[in-house]
Amino acid sequence: MKTLGLSLTLAAGALSAGLAVAPSALAQAPDQADRIIRGRYQAILGDCEACHTAPGAKPLSGGLPLETPFGQLIPPNITPDKASGIGSWTEADFRNALKNGIGHDGKRLYPAMPYPAYTRMSDEDISNLWAYLRTVDPVFNPVEANQLPFPFNIRMSMLGWNMLNFTPGEFRPDPSKSEAWNRGAYIVQGPGHCGTCHSPKTSLGADETSQALEGASLQGWFAPNITGNPYIGIGSWSEEEIVQYLKTGANARTIASGPMAEAIEASTSQMTDEDVKAIATYLKSTTGGPAEKPKPIPADDRRMQMGAAIYHDTCSACHGADGKGARQLFPALAGSAIVQQPSSETLMRLVLQGSQAVHTDGARTTPAMPSLGWKLSDQQVADVLTYIRNSWGNAAPSVGPSDIGAHR
């Protein structure tokens, strides 16, 4: 975790371990200090550092270039530096950025900044977040966010984007649902911005709201369906399994990699137990994706036979001949939702490039998936993926060698 100075932990259950605030916060009046600590927690829920901090740089002083469907954008410096950050902003300016997507000098922000989700945040949460951001070390680091090619570099075109795709407005609780459900819905749709990765996008890059959380491609990974769908979502997971995954990055079914491993390390693993349980309650209640499993490709199909041979040579030592893996060390492939997503992007990525599993306080060993791209041809990778997607009760579309070639 990237901590900021002195660690200050409140006894109150609502705000627990891992919240660190700058020493200057301690010099404030008690109610102000409380706002800052609450604001720090909002920054964890919203994972602002994930984008606004480059590796090794001072917190929130500007991020790494972000690939978007339109080109590159660099998340700007949001420390309180007056010249290059948001030090001369007012709280109203800040609220306008989170709620309405309006940045410096009234410019329209691109939705790579997840304001279409942050707009659901309550005024109080935004106000506390602002109080916290004022206490971060100011850093002079001018960033020109806009690296986009013509015509997407024209900010005025965002006016049109916003009119078509974006409805500002606070989260409205559903009084017929429990408090936990409403809290979970608020985090998922608001500060937690889970849909930024997990919801399919329209051709303009907006969330496809009718298919919320049904899975989407991002930068060579596939953020899977996380609705309550029983076979490609998390419908068959217990609430405890969801909580364990979000807290530690691993459970008996899977181990998180890539962008989710990062989101778990910096954000969900540091949420309170109550909030993570609320997320689980909400996710399990959602629906989406195909209601019925497709028919598996039969075991005597040539691709399946080739795939089985490669699997037993190269994969079974870790993932088991029965695809059941080894608890917390090697994820199960049998019954895995990741393995059966409509898109095989994450699978190709893992086999071609390998991956280091997530590292959190709750999961200290970090097993690795070796990169096997050098060893296997496009045809072999395609066949072994077709095999794991259609064995042990799994069923999903086959993968072709041209998919692999395009990914290499």
CB of 328 to ligand HEC, least distance (A): 10
Considering the complex, state which of residue 59 and residue 75 has its C-beta at the smaller distance from ligand HEC.
75
CB of 254 to ligand HEC, least distance (A): 3
User: Among residues 225, 170, 176, which one has the least CA distance to residue 199?
Assistant: 225
- Residues in contact with ligand HEC, counted by CB under 6 A, come to a total of 76
The strand ranges marked E within 239-344 are: none
Distance CA 184, CA 187 (A): 5
Considering the complex, state which of residue 262 and residue 301 has its C-beta at the smaller distance from ligand HEC.
262
Considering the complex, state which of residue 288 and residue 331 has its C-beta at the smaller distance from ligand HEC.
331
Considering the complex, state which of residue 80 and residue 103 has its C-beta at the smaller distance from ligand HEC.
103
Considering the complex, state which of residue 172 and residue 327 has its C-beta at the smaller distance from ligand HEC.
327
What's CA 223's distance to the chain center, in Å?
8
Residue nearest to ligand HEC (CB): 103
Q: Which residue among 21, 25, 226, 278 contacts ligand HEC (CB under 6 A)?
A: 226
Binders of ligand HEC in range 279-318 (CB under 6 A): 279, 314-315, 317-318
Q: 302-314 and 378-389 helices cross at what angle (nearest 10)?
A: 100
Binders of ligand HEC in range 13-42 (CB under 6 A): none
Q: Which residues make Cβ contacts (< 8 Å) with residue 210, sequence separation at least 6?
A: none
Considering the complex, state which of residue 33 and residue 59 has its C-beta at the smaller distance from ligand HEC.
59
Q: Does 254 bind ligand HEC (CB under 6 A)?
A: yes
Q: How far apart are the first and last CA of the chain?
A: 32
CB of 213 to ligand HEC, least distance (A): 8
- Measured at the CA of 57, the angle between CA 51 and CA 62, to 5 degrees, comes to 40
Both tokens of 379, joined, read 């045809």
Q: Does 323 bind ligand HEC (CB under 6 A)?
A: no
Binders of ligand HEC in range 47-106 (CB under 6 A): 47-48, 50-52, 66, 73, 75-76, 78, 86, 94, 97, 103-104
DSSP structure class, residue 298: P
Q: Which residue among 339, 352, 396, 404 contacts ligand HEC (CB under 6 A)?
A: 339
Q: Does 245 bind ligand HEC (CB under 6 A)?
A: yes
Give me the phi and psi of 173, to 5 degrees please.
Answer: -65, 150
**390, 312 contact by CB (below 8 A):** no
Considering the complex, state which of residue 257 and residue 270 has its C-beta at the smaller distance from ligand HEC.
257
- DSSP string for residues in 92-109: HHHHHHHHH-B-GGGPBP
Both tokens of 330, joined, read 């090697």
Binders of ligand HEC in range 357-376 (CB under 6 A): 357, 367-370, 372
303 burial class (0-12, 13-18, 19+ CB within 10 angstroms)?
buried
Binders of ligand HEC in range 95-154 (CB under 6 A): 97, 103-104, 109-110, 112-114, 118, 129, 145-146
Considering the complex, state which of residue 33 and residue 394 has its C-beta at the smaller distance from ligand HEC.
394
